[in-house]
Amino acid sequence: MQATRRITGFAVALVAALSMLTAAPAGAITTSQKQAILYQELGSASVFNTMYANRTKAPNNEFDWSTDLCSWSPDNPFGFNFSSACRRHDFNYRNFKATGIFTANKPKIDTAFYNDMKAICAPYGVVKRTACNGLASTYYNAVKKLGS
C-alpha cells in the first residue's frame, strides 16, 4: 500500500513537471506579462526605442515586430519622415490585438502615434513645423477613423 502511494505520488509529480516543461518554451512570457510590457511601452516612445533596438533578445523577441510602416500613406510625406512613428503604431496595433486588449486601448495607441509624429515635427521652424503638424493631424485622423 505504501509503495503504491509513493509510485502514484511520484507519477503525479512527474506528470506535473513534464506538463510545466512542455507548456511554454523556456523564457516565454505570459499574456499578462506581455500586456504589462505593452502598457509600459505605450506610455513612452523611448521604451519602444529600447525594445526595438533589442527586438531579437528575450522578452522582446516574443512580440510581433512586422510592419508595413505607414501602410498606403507615404512614410516620408514632403520630407517629413514619419516611418518611426508608423513602425511603433504597427507594433502597438499588432501586439495589443494579439494580447486581446486592443479595442479598449485603440484611442491611446492612436494618440501615441499622433504624439510621435508631432515630436518628429517639433525641431522644424514655424512654417515647416506647421505643415508637418498638419500632415500629422491628417494621418492621426485617418487612423482614428479607419484604423483597425
- Given the residues 14, 21, 64, 68, select the one marked as catalytic: 68
Nearest-angstrom CA–CA distance, 112 and 107: 9
- Given the residues 38, 110, 116, 135, select the one marked as catalytic: 110
- Given the residues 14, 64, 75, 90, select the one marked as catalytic: 90
110 is catalytic: yes
- Given the residues 69, 116, 135, 146, select the one marked as catalytic: 69
- Given the residues 89, 116, 135, 146, select the one marked as catalytic: 89
Question: Helix axis angle, 45-53 relative to 102-121, nearest 10°?
Answer: 90
Residue appearing with cell numbers 494579439: 98
DSSP 8-state secondary structure symbol assigned to residue 58: T
| Rounded alpha-carbon distances, angstroms, from residue 61 to 25, 52, 56, 58 | 13, 9, 5, 5
75 is catalytic: no
Cell numbers linked to 122: 517639433
Q: Which residues have a catalytic role annotated?
A: 68-69, 89-90, 110
